[in-house]
Amino acid sequence: MLRPRIIPCLLVHDDGLVKTVKFKDPKYVGDPINAVKIFNEKEADELIVLDIDATVQGREPNFRLIAQFAAECRMPLCYGGGVRTVEQAKRIIGLGVEKVALSAAAIEDPTLISRIAAEVGSQSVVVVLDVKTSLFGKQEVWTHNGRKNSGKSPLELAKEAERLGAGEVVINSIDRDGQMKGYDLALARKIREATRLPMSVLGGAGSLQDIGALIKECGVVGASAGSFFVFKGQYRAVLISYPTPEQKDELMNTALPSRAAHA
Protein backbone atom coordinates (compact mmCIF):
# COMPACT_ATOMS: atom_id res chain seq x y z
CA MET A 1 0.00 0.00 0.00
CA LEU A 2 1.34 3.38 -1.00
CA ARG A 3 1.54 5.99 1.72
CA PRO A 4 2.76 9.58 1.91
CA ARG A 5 6.43 10.12 2.67
CA ILE A 6 7.75 12.59 5.23
CA ILE A 7 11.07 13.84 3.90
CA PRO A 8 13.73 16.00 5.57
CA CYS A 9 15.50 18.32 3.13
CA LEU A 10 19.11 19.28 3.89
CA LEU A 11 20.69 22.34 2.27
CA VAL A 12 24.46 22.27 1.82
CA HIS A 13 26.45 25.52 1.59
CA ASP A 14 30.27 25.59 1.84
CA ASP A 15 30.07 21.88 2.84
CA GLY A 16 27.97 22.80 5.91
CA LEU A 17 24.32 22.27 6.73
CA VAL A 18 22.39 25.55 6.48
CA LYS A 19 18.84 26.88 6.52
CA THR A 20 17.60 29.83 4.51
CA VAL A 21 14.62 32.17 4.56
CA LYS A 22 13.15 32.83 1.12
CA PHE A 23 16.40 31.38 -0.30
CA LYS A 24 18.47 34.11 1.42
CA ASP A 25 20.71 34.50 4.46
CA PRO A 26 21.94 30.90 4.90
CA LYS A 27 22.33 30.12 8.61
CA TYR A 28 24.83 27.43 9.59
CA VAL A 29 23.12 24.75 11.66
CA GLY A 30 25.68 21.95 11.76
CA ASP A 31 27.45 19.10 10.02
CA PRO A 32 25.29 17.54 7.27
CA ILE A 33 26.78 14.06 7.74
CA ASN A 34 25.91 14.15 11.42
CA ALA A 35 22.35 15.16 10.46
CA VAL A 36 22.13 12.11 8.19
CA LYS A 37 23.18 9.87 11.08
CA ILE A 38 20.43 11.32 13.27
CA PHE A 39 17.79 10.86 10.58
CA ASN A 40 18.99 7.27 10.19
CA GLU A 41 18.30 6.70 13.88
CA LYS A 42 14.88 8.30 13.54
CA GLU A 43 14.08 6.10 10.51
CA ALA A 44 13.15 8.90 8.13
CA ASP A 45 11.26 7.80 5.01
CA GLU A 46 13.63 9.48 2.60
CA LEU A 47 16.18 12.29 2.46
CA ILE A 48 16.72 15.14 0.01
CA VAL A 49 20.14 16.82 -0.09
CA LEU A 50 20.52 19.99 -2.16
CA ASP A 51 23.84 21.75 -2.76
CA ILE A 52 22.73 25.36 -3.11
CA ASP A 53 26.16 26.58 -4.31
CA ALA A 54 26.98 24.35 -7.27
CA THR A 55 24.77 25.80 -9.99
CA VAL A 56 25.30 29.41 -8.85
CA GLN A 57 29.07 28.91 -8.90
CA GLY A 58 29.00 27.01 -12.18
CA ARG A 59 30.77 23.96 -10.77
CA GLU A 60 30.03 20.27 -10.93
CA PRO A 61 28.59 18.25 -8.05
CA ASN A 62 30.85 17.57 -5.06
CA PHE A 63 31.27 13.84 -5.65
CA ARG A 64 33.41 13.40 -2.54
CA LEU A 65 30.64 14.73 -0.32
CA ILE A 66 27.96 12.81 -2.23
CA ALA A 67 29.90 9.58 -1.64
CA GLN A 68 29.94 10.36 2.09
CA PHE A 69 26.18 10.93 2.10
CA ALA A 70 25.50 7.74 0.18
CA ALA A 71 27.76 5.65 2.42
CA GLU A 72 26.11 6.95 5.59
CA CYS A 73 22.47 7.15 4.49
CA ARG A 74 20.24 4.16 5.32
CA MET A 75 17.15 5.55 3.59
CA PRO A 76 16.41 6.46 -0.05
CA LEU A 77 18.54 9.48 -0.94
CA CYS A 78 17.85 12.20 -3.51
CA TYR A 79 20.73 14.53 -4.39
CA GLY A 80 20.59 17.77 -6.36
CA GLY A 81 23.00 20.57 -7.19
CA GLY A 82 25.15 21.19 -10.23
CA VAL A 83 23.98 18.19 -12.27
CA ARG A 84 24.20 19.18 -15.93
CA THR A 85 25.18 16.03 -17.82
CA VAL A 86 24.16 12.40 -18.21
CA GLU A 87 27.64 11.34 -17.11
CA GLN A 88 27.37 13.26 -13.83
CA ALA A 89 23.97 11.70 -13.11
CA LYS A 90 25.29 8.19 -13.82
CA ARG A 91 28.26 8.78 -11.54
CA ILE A 92 25.97 9.95 -8.71
CA ILE A 93 23.71 6.92 -9.07
CA GLY A 94 26.82 4.75 -9.18
CA LEU A 95 27.83 6.11 -5.77
CA GLY A 96 24.66 4.63 -4.28
CA VAL A 97 22.24 7.56 -4.53
CA GLU A 98 18.70 6.54 -5.50
CA LYS A 99 17.55 9.77 -7.19
CA VAL A 100 19.17 12.69 -9.00
CA ALA A 101 17.43 16.07 -8.81
CA LEU A 102 17.56 18.46 -11.76
CA SER A 103 16.53 22.10 -11.83
CA ALA A 104 18.25 24.80 -13.91
CA ALA A 105 19.84 22.37 -16.36
CA ALA A 106 16.53 20.63 -17.06
CA ILE A 107 14.78 23.94 -17.67
CA GLU A 108 17.52 25.21 -19.96
CA ASP A 109 17.71 21.88 -21.85
CA PRO A 110 14.59 19.77 -21.20
CA THR A 111 15.99 16.86 -23.25
CA LEU A 112 18.38 16.25 -20.35
CA ILE A 113 15.45 14.72 -18.47
CA SER A 114 14.80 12.05 -21.08
CA ARG A 115 18.50 11.43 -21.73
CA ILE A 116 19.23 10.80 -18.07
CA ALA A 117 16.05 8.72 -17.67
CA ALA A 118 17.18 6.52 -20.56
CA GLU A 119 20.43 5.76 -18.72
CA VAL A 120 19.40 5.43 -15.07
CA GLY A 121 15.62 4.92 -15.26
CA SER A 122 12.75 7.38 -14.86
CA GLN A 123 12.33 6.46 -11.21
CA SER A 124 15.73 8.04 -10.50
CA VAL A 125 15.04 11.40 -12.19
CA VAL A 126 13.51 14.18 -10.08
CA VAL A 127 12.75 17.67 -11.39
CA VAL A 128 12.78 20.44 -8.75
CA LEU A 129 10.70 23.53 -9.48
CA ASP A 130 11.45 26.54 -7.24
CA VAL A 131 8.37 28.76 -7.45
CA LYS A 132 8.07 32.46 -6.66
CA THR A 133 4.93 34.60 -6.82
CA SER A 134 5.19 38.08 -8.35
CA LEU A 135 3.54 41.21 -6.95
CA PHE A 136 0.76 40.63 -9.48
CA GLY A 137 0.15 37.05 -8.33
CA LYS A 138 1.86 35.30 -11.24
CA GLN A 139 3.75 32.15 -10.23
CA GLU A 140 6.96 31.40 -12.11
CA VAL A 141 9.88 29.02 -11.69
CA TRP A 142 13.21 30.51 -10.69
CA THR A 143 16.64 28.86 -10.89
CA HIS A 144 20.18 29.48 -9.62
CA ASN A 145 19.05 29.49 -6.00
CA GLY A 146 16.23 31.92 -6.70
CA ARG A 147 18.33 34.41 -8.64
CA LYS A 148 17.17 33.77 -12.23
CA ASN A 149 13.60 33.84 -13.51
CA SER A 150 12.88 31.17 -16.10
CA GLY A 151 9.69 32.98 -17.11
CA LYS A 152 7.85 29.65 -17.14
CA SER A 153 4.94 28.49 -15.03
CA PRO A 154 5.29 25.53 -12.66
CA LEU A 155 2.29 23.83 -14.29
CA GLU A 156 3.90 24.09 -17.73
CA LEU A 157 7.21 22.70 -16.49
CA ALA A 158 5.61 19.91 -14.42
CA LYS A 159 3.69 18.68 -17.46
CA GLU A 160 6.85 18.89 -19.57
CA ALA A 161 8.82 16.90 -16.98
CA GLU A 162 6.19 14.17 -17.05
CA ARG A 163 6.15 14.06 -20.84
CA LEU A 164 9.94 13.78 -21.00
CA GLY A 165 10.15 10.87 -18.57
CA ALA A 166 10.86 12.29 -15.13
CA GLY A 167 9.88 10.03 -12.25
CA GLU A 168 8.98 12.74 -9.75
CA VAL A 169 8.53 16.48 -9.37
CA VAL A 170 9.39 18.55 -6.28
CA ILE A 171 7.47 21.80 -5.86
CA ASN A 172 9.41 24.23 -3.67
CA SER A 173 7.88 27.57 -2.62
CA ILE A 174 10.54 30.27 -2.44
CA ASP A 175 8.07 32.65 -0.77
CA ARG A 176 7.44 30.19 2.07
CA ASP A 177 10.99 28.90 2.47
CA GLY A 178 11.95 29.04 6.15
CA GLN A 179 8.67 30.74 7.14
CA MET A 180 7.23 27.69 8.93
CA LYS A 181 3.67 28.98 8.36
CA GLY A 182 2.32 26.20 6.15
CA TYR A 183 2.67 24.93 2.60
CA ASP A 184 1.27 26.64 -0.48
CA LEU A 185 -1.66 24.23 -0.69
CA ALA A 186 -3.26 25.99 -3.65
CA LEU A 187 -0.11 25.51 -5.72
CA ALA A 188 0.26 21.89 -4.61
CA ARG A 189 -3.33 21.16 -5.59
CA LYS A 190 -2.86 22.72 -9.06
CA ILE A 191 0.22 20.61 -9.76
CA ARG A 192 -1.47 17.47 -8.38
CA GLU A 193 -4.39 18.00 -10.75
CA ALA A 194 -2.13 18.74 -13.73
CA THR A 195 0.13 15.68 -13.62
CA ARG A 196 0.16 12.06 -12.55
CA LEU A 197 3.80 12.27 -11.52
CA PRO A 198 4.70 11.41 -7.93
CA MET A 199 5.04 14.78 -6.24
CA SER A 200 6.84 16.14 -3.20
CA VAL A 201 6.15 19.58 -1.76
CA LEU A 202 8.69 21.74 0.05
CA GLY A 203 8.62 25.17 1.66
CA GLY A 204 6.66 26.35 4.67
CA ALA A 205 6.07 23.38 6.97
CA GLY A 206 6.13 24.39 10.61
CA SER A 207 4.12 21.64 12.30
CA LEU A 208 2.75 18.14 11.90
CA GLN A 209 -0.59 19.81 11.26
CA ASP A 210 0.89 21.51 8.18
CA ILE A 211 2.08 18.13 6.90
CA GLY A 212 -1.32 16.63 7.62
CA ALA A 213 -3.07 19.44 5.73
CA LEU A 214 -0.89 18.80 2.66
CA ILE A 215 -1.56 15.06 2.74
CA LYS A 216 -5.30 15.66 3.19
CA GLU A 217 -5.28 18.07 0.25
CA CYS A 218 -3.19 15.99 -2.16
CA GLY A 219 -3.27 12.37 -0.92
CA VAL A 220 -0.18 10.30 -1.57
CA VAL A 221 2.60 12.88 -1.69
CA GLY A 222 6.05 13.56 -0.33
CA ALA A 223 5.80 16.13 2.46
CA SER A 224 9.26 17.64 2.69
CA ALA A 225 10.60 20.19 5.16
CA GLY A 226 13.85 21.76 6.29
CA SER A 227 13.40 24.22 9.17
CA PHE A 228 10.72 22.11 10.86
CA PHE A 229 13.17 19.22 11.25
CA VAL A 230 16.17 21.26 12.45
CA PHE A 231 14.72 24.08 14.58
CA LYS A 232 12.75 24.03 17.82
CA GLY A 233 10.83 26.82 19.54
CA GLN A 234 10.32 30.50 18.79
CA TYR A 235 14.04 31.23 19.06
CA ARG A 236 14.86 28.50 16.53
CA ALA A 237 17.30 26.54 18.64
CA VAL A 238 18.97 23.87 16.53
CA LEU A 239 17.50 20.48 17.37
CA ILE A 240 17.06 17.78 14.74
CA SER A 241 13.72 16.01 15.05
CA TYR A 242 11.41 13.71 13.11
CA PRO A 243 7.94 12.27 13.81
CA THR A 244 7.83 9.02 15.78
CA PRO A 245 6.17 5.98 14.15
CA GLU A 246 3.16 6.58 16.39
CA GLN A 247 2.92 10.23 15.32
CA LYS A 248 3.19 9.24 11.66
CA ASP A 249 0.44 6.62 11.97
CA GLU A 250 -1.85 9.09 13.69
CA LEU A 251 -1.09 11.69 11.03
CA MET A 252 -1.89 9.30 8.17
CA ASN A 253 -5.07 8.04 9.82
CA THR A 254 -6.28 11.61 10.28
CA ALA A 255 -5.18 12.99 6.91
CA LEU A 256 -6.26 10.11 4.69
CA PRO A 257 -9.97 9.22 5.00
CA SER A 258 -9.33 5.80 3.49
CA ARG A 259 -5.83 4.50 2.92
CA ALA A 260 -7.17 1.90 0.54
CA ALA A 261 -8.36 4.70 -1.71
CA HIS A 262 -4.76 5.83 -2.16
CA ALA A 263 -3.16 2.43 -2.71
Query: What is the tens place of the pLDDT at every residue in 197-217?
Result: 999 999 999 999 999 999 999
Is a pLDDT exceeding 70 seen at residue 263? no
pTM of the complete model: 0.94
Average pLDDT over residues 151-173: 97
Sequence-distant (6+) residues with CB within 8 A of 172 are 128, 129, 130, 131, 201, 202, 203
Q: Sign of torsion, CA 25 31 36 39?
A: negative
Which one is catalytic: 51, 130, 177, 210? 130
Architecture of domain 5-262: Alpha-Beta Barrel (3.20)
Query: What is the tens place of the pLDDT at every residue in 35-71?
Result: 999 999 999 999 999 999 999 999 999 999 999 999 9
Query: What is the tens place of the pLDDT at every residue in 88-132?
Result: 999 999 999 999 999 999 999 999 999 999 999 999 999 999 999
More confident residue, 260 or 92: 92
Query: What is the tens place of the pLDDT at every residue in 127-153?
Result: 999 999 998 889 999 999 999 999 999
Is a pLDDT exceeding 70 seen at residue 156? yes
Residue 130 falls in the annotated catalytic set: yes
Is a pLDDT exceeding 80 seen at residue 259? no
The pLDDT of residue 184 is 97
Q: Residue ranges of the domains in the chain? A: 5-262
